[in-house]
Amino acid sequence: MCGRWLKADEISAAIGAEKLVTAATNGRIAAGPATSKPVQVCSWAADDKQANVNLFFVPSLPPAAIAQGLRTVEHQLGEMRVQHANEERQDFGDVHCSSLSKPSSKVLPRVTGCVGEAHGTALYVGIATHRSQPAFDVVKRLYDAAAARFPSSDQAAQ
């Protein structure tokens, strides 16, 4: 299922990996109006485990539940914020991106992620790495690739 949203060559180019390890899991939203919608999670890691790409999404949300869905899929960035990471932000229209790091940490990865709504789907795409800070444009390109593959409400109804 995860290969439907992002292609291996897109991910490999973004994180500089020759080989990828893929995992997919499902979660649940903890609270709010979207509690019955599952959180879909797709993760791809470089074979050297130094970088990974995460895609979290809650599909087919009614307009009233989009804000809760966006808060839910953004949880990785929220965890880094709590750990007092340095943050830079850049918005691309309604897509909000953050780049987080904690320079003094040898354990915490550098994370850049983008959050937005695509055709009624709350979507987060991010790169976490122990290498150099992921650039906004690289992550936004992955976000755009995934967002374009989600069906519009018109397509989903067909």
User: Model confidence at 142, in pLDDT bands (50, 70, 90)?
Assistant: very high
Q: State pLDDT tens for residues 83-104.
A: 867 899 999 999 999 999 887 7
Across the beta sheet with 51-58, the strand order is 20-28, 38-46, 51-58, 121-129, 110-118, 95-101, 86-92
Q: What average pLDDT score do residues 142-148 get?
A: 96
Distance CA 135, CA 113 (A): 10
pLDDT score at 3: 85
Specify the amino acid at residue 126. G
Distance CA 124, CA 107 (A): 23
pLDDT score at 26: 63
Q: Are 39 and 5 in contact (CB under 8 A)?
A: no
Q: Going by CATH, does the domain composed of 2-157 fall within 3.40.1000.70?
A: yes
Distance CA 121, CA 56 (A): 10
| 49: its two tokens | 């485990």
Q: What average pLDDT score do residues 118-127 get?
A: 94
Average model confidence (pLDDT) across the chain? 84
Judged against a pLDDT cut of 80, whether residue 17 lies above it is answered with yes
User: Model confidence at 60, in pLDDT bands (50, 70, 90)?
Assistant: confident
